[in-house]
Amino acid sequence: MKTTIIPKEEINQLHFSNKEVLESSEMKTIRFNQLKQGEALGNTYKHKVKIFFQSIEGSWMVYATVWLATETHVQLKGGILIPIKVIEEVALFGNF
């Protein structure tokens, strides 16, 4: 499936499944730890991360600042929410 880049402001138009996209508990732990690192980088340095996630409409990537990561959701700058269970991958650093 092709991943489409989406502006964070358009995420609220997407519909999310209740299905978890990661199978192993190890991958879920890694994802959560990366999101918490992204939160620290975002709040301290305004550092943006790439978040790859699924919606009913398709596969997406957003490049944004993580303000808060909880057990159930990630809040991006501007109050945009993404359910944790639809996030496949988080890229903290790299060629952005």
* pLDDT mean across residues, the chain: 96
Distance CA 66, CA 68 (A): 6
Name the one residue in this structure whose structure tokens are 């709040």. Answer: 43
Mean pLDDT of the 55-63 span: 98
Fold of 17-91: SH3 type barrels. (2.30.30)
Q: Decide if pLDDT at 95 tops 80.
A: no
User: Which of 41, 52, 59, 53 has the alpha carbon at shortest distance from 3?
Assistant: 59
Residues of the chain with pLDDT > 90: what percent?
94
Q: Determine the pLDDT at residue 1.
A: 74
Please state the pTM of the whole predicted model. 0.94
Domain extents in the chain: 17-91
Distance CA 69, CA 49 (A): 13
Contacts (Cβ under 8 Å, ≥6 apart) of 9: 78, 80
Kindly state the DSSP code that residue 70 receives in the 8-state scheme.
Answer: -
Distance CA 42, CA 12 (A): 21
Q: Determine the pLDDT at residue 96.
A: 54
